[in-house]
Structure 1
Amino acid sequence: MASGKFIPLARLTCRSGRSPLFATRRYLNTKTAPSLYAARAHVVGARTGHVDGENLKVDLTMAKALGGPDDKSKTNPEELFAAGYGACFQSAMNAVAPSLGLKMPKDVEDSIVESTVHLVGSMKDLDMGLRVELVVKVRGLDKESLEKIVHKARQVCPYSRATKDNVYTVVRCETM
């Protein structure tokens, strides 16, 4: 409204439950958007089974904290989610940095995302969910620049978008 144009009050009516003073963000319609890539997995045996994918063969085990054996040669769904989220978030950071006039470091060791996925709730009550912590460490950027990259990455990372408003996620930035 700062433009000085007259806008009828009826057009200011909030249709989305949001204040009309804030622009509505357009979201990707994931139901109809073209698929860029599809990953498939064949799972047998649940948390103590095996996963096969086009480029993946993984044996699963119940985490020791959940009563499973301490088998370091196997993984679990939470570790797989943590790995996927961390890799996806780091890719989003690399993708958005140039749009902000910033450069991510070229050496892969100078940009690290440590992701922790917590299985929370009660197994007994069958009331479980996830909580995520991401620690982003980058060498060669000041904290303000890193925070700008992380803020924008949270808006475009497919994992961040998929978990928004239903998985409590904390992202912490550290310069190295």
Structure 2
Amino acid sequence: MFGTFLLLAGAALVALSGPVVLAAFRLREYLGGVRGALYHLLTGVLGLAAVVAVAAGVMAGISAGLVVLLVCLLVFAAGAAVPLVLASTLAERVGGVRNGAPYAALGWPPSLYAAALVFIAPGGFARYNLTFATGTTALVGWTAFSLFVLFGPAVVAVAAARYSTSRASSAP
């Protein structure tokens, strides 16, 4: 049961990452910049997870609801909160920009999409995924998956921040 919820929550996060970032850029003027918009939108995603957990609790019992809530919080922390904070911080410190949130947001969906491709790569959509891998395939696959999820947004954020500051400093 835990593994199924983990896969569903991860797939939901991957599916929602692009629309959340697009909405954050569209709402940045109204919600205090990209950082504020991401905060509000991701709080809404957590609210949606809470609604799903309550529904699971009503339909399948309190233990199922708690498992769903725990899985959603775990996936949210590992797949959204930590990578976005890390990317934003590194873009500000290494990239030399004042606000790293827009750069972090740019890197978040592509890195989750790349991690999803790594996850399904061992067998494709039809049969097996990374959870069925063993040996060296599992080691390389889980390492690549973890690196894409945790550090992918940071790599894109730092590269984009450095590019934007180099373009700004070379302007006449």
TM-score by length of 1: 0.30
TM-score by length of 2: 0.30
Rg comparison, structure with higher value: 1
Considering fraction of residues, name the structure with more strand. 1
- Which one scores higher on RCO, CA 8 angstroms, separation ≥ 6? 2
Considering fraction of residues, name the structure with more helix. 2
